[in-house]
Protein backbone atom coordinates (compact mmCIF):
# COMPACT_ATOMS: atom_id res chain seq x y z
CA UNK A 1 0.00 0.00 0.00
CA UNK A 2 1.36 3.43 -0.92
CA UNK A 3 1.11 6.60 1.19
CA UNK A 4 -2.02 7.85 -0.56
CA UNK A 5 -3.84 4.54 -0.03
CA UNK A 6 -2.84 4.50 3.64
CA UNK A 7 -4.12 8.06 4.06
CA UNK A 8 -7.43 7.27 2.35
CA UNK A 9 -7.95 4.17 4.50
CA UNK A 10 -7.14 6.13 7.65
CA UNK A 11 -9.56 8.94 6.71
CA UNK A 12 -12.34 6.48 5.95
CA UNK A 13 -11.83 4.95 9.38
CA UNK A 14 -11.55 8.34 11.07
CA UNK A 15 -14.72 9.76 9.52
CA UNK A 16 -16.66 6.61 10.43
CA UNK A 17 -15.36 6.77 14.01
CA UNK A 18 -16.41 10.42 14.17
CA UNK A 19 -19.95 9.45 13.11
CA UNK A 20 -20.17 6.64 15.68
CA UNK A 21 -18.77 8.87 18.44
CA UNK A 22 -21.33 11.57 17.60
CA UNK A 23 -24.19 9.03 17.68
CA UNK A 24 -23.11 7.80 21.11
CA UNK A 25 -22.61 11.34 22.38
CA UNK A 26 -26.10 12.38 21.26
CA UNK A 27 -27.60 9.70 23.49
CA UNK A 28 -26.19 11.60 26.50
CA UNK A 29 -27.74 15.00 25.71
CA UNK A 30 -30.24 16.59 28.06
CA UNK A 31 -33.77 15.62 27.10
CA UNK A 32 -35.68 18.55 25.61
CA UNK A 33 -37.29 19.60 22.34
CA UNK A 34 -34.20 21.48 21.20
CA UNK A 35 -31.84 18.56 21.74
CA UNK A 36 -34.13 16.28 19.73
CA UNK A 37 -33.90 18.61 16.73
CA UNK A 38 -30.17 19.19 17.16
CA UNK A 39 -29.51 15.46 17.56
CA UNK A 40 -31.31 14.76 14.29
CA UNK A 41 -29.32 17.43 12.44
CA UNK A 42 -25.98 16.49 14.01
CA UNK A 43 -26.34 12.77 13.37
CA UNK A 44 -27.31 13.48 9.75
CA UNK A 45 -24.31 15.72 9.12
CA UNK A 46 -21.78 13.58 11.01
CA UNK A 47 -22.78 10.37 9.24
CA UNK A 48 -22.94 12.16 5.90
CA UNK A 49 -19.35 13.33 6.35
CA UNK A 50 -18.01 9.77 6.21
CA UNK A 51 -20.47 8.53 3.61
CA UNK A 52 -19.63 11.34 1.22
CA UNK A 53 -15.90 10.96 1.84
CA UNK A 54 -16.20 7.33 0.77
CA UNK A 55 -18.13 8.45 -2.32
CA UNK A 56 -15.41 11.00 -3.11
CA UNK A 57 -12.81 8.23 -2.96
CA UNK A 58 -14.78 6.35 -5.64
CA UNK A 59 -15.06 9.40 -7.93
CA UNK A 60 -14.68 8.68 -11.62
CA UNK A 61 -13.21 12.07 -12.46
CA UNK A 62 -11.51 15.08 -10.90
CA UNK A 63 -14.74 17.06 -11.26
CA UNK A 64 -16.74 14.37 -9.50
CA UNK A 65 -14.16 14.19 -6.70
CA UNK A 66 -14.31 17.97 -6.29
CA UNK A 67 -18.10 17.91 -6.15
CA UNK A 68 -18.14 15.15 -3.50
CA UNK A 69 -15.35 16.64 -1.38
CA UNK A 70 -17.26 19.96 -1.35
CA UNK A 71 -20.19 18.10 0.22
CA UNK A 72 -17.83 16.54 2.78
CA UNK A 73 -16.57 19.99 3.77
CA UNK A 74 -20.14 21.29 4.12
CA UNK A 75 -21.22 18.33 6.24
CA UNK A 76 -18.26 18.35 8.62
CA UNK A 77 -18.61 22.12 9.01
CA UNK A 78 -22.30 21.66 9.82
CA UNK A 79 -21.37 19.02 12.39
CA UNK A 80 -18.96 21.43 14.00
CA UNK A 81 -21.71 24.07 14.08
CA UNK A 82 -24.18 21.78 15.87
CA UNK A 83 -21.54 20.76 18.39
CA UNK A 84 -20.90 24.45 19.09
CA UNK A 85 -24.64 25.00 19.57
CA UNK A 86 -24.74 22.13 22.06
CA UNK A 87 -21.84 23.69 23.91
CA UNK A 88 -23.30 27.22 23.93
CA UNK A 89 -26.76 26.01 24.98
CA UNK A 90 -25.32 23.78 27.74
CA UNK A 91 -27.13 20.71 26.42
CA UNK A 92 -24.44 18.28 27.55
CA UNK A 93 -22.79 17.44 30.82
CA UNK A 94 -20.12 15.39 29.05
CA UNK A 95 -17.84 18.35 28.47
CA UNK A 96 -14.71 16.29 27.86
CA UNK A 97 -16.40 14.25 25.12
CA UNK A 98 -17.92 17.40 23.62
CA UNK A 99 -14.49 19.04 23.51
CA UNK A 100 -13.01 15.93 21.88
CA UNK A 101 -15.71 15.96 19.18
CA UNK A 102 -15.25 19.69 18.59
CA UNK A 103 -11.52 19.17 18.15
CA UNK A 104 -12.05 16.24 15.78
CA UNK A 105 -14.64 18.09 13.68
CA UNK A 106 -12.29 21.08 13.43
CA UNK A 107 -9.38 18.88 12.35
CA UNK A 108 -11.50 17.01 9.81
CA UNK A 109 -12.76 20.35 8.53
CA UNK A 110 -9.19 21.56 7.96
CA UNK A 111 -8.10 18.32 6.27
CA UNK A 112 -11.12 18.16 3.96
CA UNK A 113 -10.92 21.87 3.13
CA UNK A 114 -7.28 21.42 2.14
CA UNK A 115 -8.24 18.44 -0.06
CA UNK A 116 -10.99 20.54 -1.63
CA UNK A 117 -8.70 23.49 -2.29
CA UNK A 118 -5.95 21.25 -3.68
CA UNK A 119 -8.34 19.43 -5.99
CA UNK A 120 -9.78 22.74 -7.23
CA UNK A 121 -6.36 24.04 -8.23
CA UNK A 122 -5.53 20.71 -9.94
CA UNK A 123 -8.74 20.51 -12.02
The CATH number of whichever domain residue 32 belongs to comes to: 1.20.1440.60
Q: Looking at residue 1, what is its pLDDT?
A: 81
User: How many folded domains does the chain comprise?
Assistant: 1
Residues 6+ apart with CB under 8 A from 15: 49, 50, 53, 54, 108
Q: Write down the mean pLDDT value for the chain.
A: 95
CA-closest candidate to residue 80, choices 108, 56, 52: 108
pLDDT interval class at 119 (50, 70, 90): confident
Q: DSSP string covering 43-95, please?
A: HHHHHHHHHHHHHHHT-SSHHHHHHHHHHHHHHHHHHHHHHHHHHHTT--S-H
- Residues of the domain holding 8: 3-121
The whole-number pLDDT of residue 15 equals 98
- Mind listing the pLDDT tens digit for each residue in 55-101? 999 999 999 999 999 999 999 999 999 999 999 999 999 999 999 99
Question: Could you tell me which of 18, 37, 44 has the C-alpha nearest to residue 106?
Answer: 18
- Look at residue 26 in the predicted model and tell me its pLDDT: 97
| Average confidence (pLDDT) over 4-24 | 96
**Residues 108, 114, 118, 121: is their CA dihedral positive or negative?**
positive
Amino acid sequence: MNEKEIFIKAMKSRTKKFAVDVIRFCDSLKTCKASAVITYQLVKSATSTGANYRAACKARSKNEFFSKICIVVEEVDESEYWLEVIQDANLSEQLQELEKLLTESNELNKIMSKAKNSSYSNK
